[in-house]
Structure 1
């Protein structure tokens, strides 16, 4: 297998794990789905810890389904921090009218992430 073929297979596996793509040929789709689910759950847990209290108070039990839907529609981009990911989710909620304008997160004052 050439380096370019290996790179293509790795990119396909990554897309299956984090962006909802199909499992590459020769890889067990059920195992890929299981690992993708675990990665989404890990991202959800980290994001939930980073979100402002107002988000938890406003959404309550609706937080997990909203996070899951947002995570599925917004794969992590290379080079973004989890803080930026949490800020993007909050911005999504504000744009959807779920949250009002709030204060900036303390780390936002430190500049780009």
Structure 2
């Protein structure tokens, strides 16, 4: 059984990040199996928590994922576009990067 709270929370976070409806559907892959949906939701929650460690204001917390980023992982694209394009692997890579930045 899917953790509906985590999925709803992940959708809200994506909305806060200014993801389009298409991006939300794509990033969460709402048509996939429950296990993957839960993993994607969990990764989004973890990215959001790391952003809250990095930044102390909602504008930066929510704006980071829509801001073009020069880090080689994103190559000038927005992190939201990257995770939409790369799927679950992109979510994992983004989490790893954000956790690394937040721990410094």
State TM-score, norm by structure 2.
0.35
Q: Which has the higher contact order (CA 8 A, sep 6+)?
A: 2
